[in-house]
Structure 1
């Protein structure tokens, strides 16, 4: 990935009302889920909600909505799997970029789960808490303060994912652009972290097959949202 190549990043909408930010997060959460019948059945509703957003974020979301509408369900599903499940640099699991499938990732995942639990949310056994769609749904519908804090802590990962999707020509890049537009601008420290993550790549597995062994809550290793 060429991080020195200029890429347009959407300008933050300042100030963006809390209702609009939460609407962006809710739309993004639904669009980043697997494009099954339920998600595809919501396209008209999502298009109507997107029309209520400010132009800078609306123009990021409209192309992916149009793409999903014009693409066959099989092709949309294939693209989703090839993009997010088969490419290490396009994972929707935010802690994967720094820790990969290592045991150290367990403590990072625990922080997510604790934030959810404090807000009264318990995830199912087959849902990892750092999946971006899960976090966006949490921020939009349960705890915008706690959710935004976790999103803000992972701005470098979100931007790296946006760059990766943009480089591959995926229509999903617009969703990440819309999400990052709701967050504070990237700092110099963030740019250094982005470069580090891009150069290092997700770590390989450590000894053993229990990547979440350090988590006393016994987090599941499933990577699926479906």
Structure 2
């Protein structure tokens, strides 16, 4: 079951990445990959998003992504920003998260901040349970808050966050 959920996290990470050249073309393959996910509700949520995305042009996908995540203060994917904004405490939290990744053997570059949701999901997809569960627990409420904001905005990305939350719940993680 956990491996199936890790597949869901990996697919969600990809789906939340910037839709650069080749991204849309990979969706058909991803639709096949999600068939390996055992949890029907998680699979259905991801399939919903993929089918919506396949009906959009590359330009529409880029516009939607930028409008939602780059210009939306309440819908950005930097999870610690929700707690502290640009306060000094955020830097400490980012450092602790980066150190947790390193201790877990998960290598990150300086390309993205460690609280970037697609990076966090990639960590969940690759880390062992004892390393990923405390982070899932710590940021579950932030992911829920982002999901609420996406729902209120009528965003096409809400099924991905629904799938992530269903996967976290199925994993058995409670919030801190």
Question: TM-score, with normalisation over the residues of structure 2?
Answer: 0.90
Q: CA RMSD in A?
A: 1.9
Instruction: Report what 1:145 is aligned to.
Output: 130
2:14 maps to 1:30 = yes
2:149 maps to 1:164 = yes
Instruction: Report what 2:51 is aligned to.
Output: 66
Q: Could you tell me which runs of 5 or more consecutive residues in structure 2 were left unpaired when the two chains were aligned.
A: none
How far did residue 118 of structure 1 move?
0.8
Runs of 4+ in 1 over 4 A off after TM superposition: none
Question: TM-score, with normalisation over the residues of structure 1?
Answer: 0.71
2:87 maps to 1:102 = yes
Shift of the 111–38 alpha-carbon distance from structure 1 to 2, 3 Å rule, reads farther
Does the CA contact (< 8 Å) of 1:29 and 1:133 recur in 2? Answer: yes
Does the CA contact (< 8 Å) of 1:139 and 1:145 recur in 2? Answer: no
Give 1 or 2 for the bigger CA radius of gyration: 1
Instruction: Report what 1:45 is aligned to.
Output: 29
Q: Residue 51 of structure 1 aligns to a residue in which SS?
A: helix
Task: Give the number of equivalent residue pairs.
Answer: 172
Q: Could you tell me which runs of 5 or more consecutive residues in structure 1 were left unpaired when the two chains were aligned.
A: 1-16, 194-226
Does the CA contact (< 8 Å) of 1:155 and 1:180 recur in 2? Answer: yes
Q: Would you tell me which structure has more helix in proportion to its own residues?
A: 2
- Give me the whole-angstrom Cα distance separating, in 2, the residues matched to 1:29 and 1:148: 17
Instruction: Report what 2:164 is aligned to.
Output: 179
